Structure 1
Amino acid sequence: MTLPTTTLGRTGLRVSRLGYGAMELRGPGAWGPPVTDDAARTVLNEALDSGVNLIDTSPDYGDAEEHIGRWVSHRRDEFVLASKCGCPLADGDPAHVYTKANVRAGVERSLRRMRTDHLDILMVHLSPSVAVMEAEDTVAEMRALQDEGLIRFTGMSGELPHLPDHIAMGVFDVFLLPYSALDRSHERLVEAAAATGAGTVARGSVARSLTPPPEAVPEPVRRPLAQRHARLAAAHLDELADGAPVTELLLRFILGHPEVHSVIVGSGRSQHLRANIAAARKGPLPADVHTAVLDRLGGV
């Protein structure tokens, strides 16, 4: 069975409804087990072999861009490549800066790392305010990179409180935003973004909610993950899964949103990738199961 695809809004790009998130390939300093070169090569090529053709990454993701360049750059015409801008250029520097110089320098480094001459989508990372982007001419520099052929489309990796303003700007072709059965706070914003003609890509930490987050995870990230884990455990969604993994239920829930074009799920392990692909091939949940998931997890 083939992996379902759809058109990513006005970009016209045909993308798989399941995308691959490269965060788990970040290497040293990762919250989970380190990923070897062999594992990275295997999982990236298996994703492409299985029909996953949207790869989302970032300069913030450690070794991820290097892995993409090393292991699948020879297959560049087979996938849509999205990365981020505004990220630190120096290792260990947490500051995100949205100046024209930093945006351009980051893109040039990403292109070198991934051994490609263009990014299909360049997204602003970490959802800065419109005021910050206007002060730094962030979007103007993205347009210049677009004119030069170094990027094809612009995007925003956004979230509340600034995401409504990002959508109202009318300049971004793609939005990457949080959405899952456990976090529906951006549900109406998915619809608002799609209504402008933009492509929408969901990110949701589906698997991370199944187990308590490790102590190594920074507290601002660990706290909401722990809360989601507690909600998920209390909902007993395994009773609705008909023997399937709960991760499958959660992934298929996201695919049931008619305005979500693709959902990014990451893993450094082939068995997890294969399970996600099998789930995506089944498509959205039946309507009654979708409703039952909503009932058990509560409101937005």
Structure 2
Amino acid sequence: MTSLQQYHRPLGSTGLTVSPLGLGTVKIGRNQGVKYPSGFELPTDQQVRGLLAQARDLGINLLDTAPAYGLSEQRLGPLLQGQRQEWVLCSKVGEEFDNGESWFDFSARHTRHSVQRSLQRLQTDYLDLVLVHSNGDDLTVLADEVYPTLQQLKQEGLIRAFGFSGKTVAGGLQALEDGDCAMVTWNLREQTERPVLDFALSHNKGILVKKALASGHICLEGEDPVRSGFELVFSHPAVGSAIIGTITPAHLTQNVVTVANILQQADTHSGSQARPR
């Protein structure tokens, strides 16, 4: 079976080692207000359990969740019992989702409450990574209490690293100045955040990629848009992992096989380049 195990890599200087693909879990907890090209039913616990086992067998060790992902955290907690050391758990703070709408709170009180609630839901005593779910007004969010609070929670050992999932270059750069990681949009349609990746590379900061396949929309065009999309994503050496939000086993396998092939070819090419003539 194809596996990404041999391609695990450090996420900047966080001390975390992640698989080049991470499993996004919004689709196991929420099917309202999502930006996918078609609707879907939430999977059953048995289906989620199978998906997690498949991801693990394929060499994926990063799970991305959030309070704004509906029931995602509550469902993952019981399903991950006995497996804590096998996963890098990333959650978020800042965004809440109730009654079909999002609202935001970046105060110190809510940030601490959100992390403690995520710990309880996920049935763990620490989170590997916590990202700020920005509302798009990145610099204003970063001037709020959320980043200092996450720094304090890191010092207390409740989280191992923290960062920012934003929407602007200025926000991403500022977030990396003071934090460990940024989650950026980086795909065939949107490449404006490249300066954030460049900064991360030169300062040994972590980068996670969201919307690597444009939330599924990129799969509607091109001869092999999945491969082309992942080739772009992993063409930048700052990228630690790309988060994919599929709940379809066949799609998960296809993505892993594609990425493993791309990374294998890159290794072969770099090896041939390094050999003396």
2:61–2:86 CA contact under 8 A, matched in 1: yes
Please show how residues 185-196 of structure 1 align to structure 2 within 5 Å: 185-196=192-203
> Which residue of structure 1 aligns with residue 125 of structure 2?
117
1:2–1:51 CA contact under 8 A, matched in 2: yes
> Which residue of structure 2 aligns with residue 13 of structure 1?
16
Aligned partners of 2:57, 2:172: CA distance in 1, in Å?
37
Aligned partners of 2:184, 2:71: CA distance in 1, in Å?
23
Q: Secondary structure at the match of 1:58?
A: coil
> Which residue of structure 2 aligns with residue 200 of structure 1?
207
Please show how residues 1-300 of structure 1 align to structure 2 within 5 Å: 1-3=2-4, 4-29=7-32, 31=34, 32-34=39-41, 35-88=43-96, 92=100, 94-126=102-134, 127-134=136-143, 136-160=144-168, 162-167=170-175, 170-206=177-213, 208-210=216-218, 233=221, 237-238=222-223, 241=224, 246-284=225-263
Q: Deviations over 1:24-74 (max 9, x none)?
A: 212352643112222211112211122101111111111211222121232
1:87–1:106 CA contact under 8 A, matched in 2: no
Q: Deviations over 1:172-230 (max 9, x none)?
A: 1011110012211112221112322211111125151146xxxxxxxxxxxxxxxxx6x
Aligned partners of 2:48, 2:31: CA distance in 1, in Å?
13
Corresponding letter in the other structure for 2:197? V
2:67–2:91 CA contact under 8 A, matched in 1: yes
Corresponding letter in the other structure for 2:182? F
Identity %: 28
Aligned partners of 1:133, 1:164: CA distance in 2, in Å?
10
1:155–1:173 CA contact under 8 A, matched in 2: yes
2:169–2:192 CA contact under 8 A, matched in 1: no
Aligned partners of 1:6, 1:55: CA distance in 2, in Å?
15
Q: CA deviation at 1:166?
A: 2.0
Q: CA deviation at 1:124?
A: 0.8
Aligned partners of 2:103, 2:47: CA distance in 1, in Å?
30
- Consecutive unaligned residues of structure 1, counting only runs of 5 or more, are 212-228, 288-300
2:96–2:103 CA contact under 8 A, matched in 1: yes
Aligned residues: 256
Q: Secondary structure at the match of 2:90?
A: strand
Aligned partners of 1:82, 1:59: CA distance in 2, in Å?
11
Q: What TM-score, normalized to structure 1?
A: 0.78
> Which residue of structure 2 aligns with residue 291 of structure 1?
none
Q: Secondary structure at the match of 2:80?
A: helix
- Consecutive unaligned residues of structure 2, counting only runs of 5 or more, are 267-277
2:3–2:260 CA contact under 8 A, matched in 1: yes
Aligned partners of 1:276, 1:50: CA distance in 2, in Å?
10
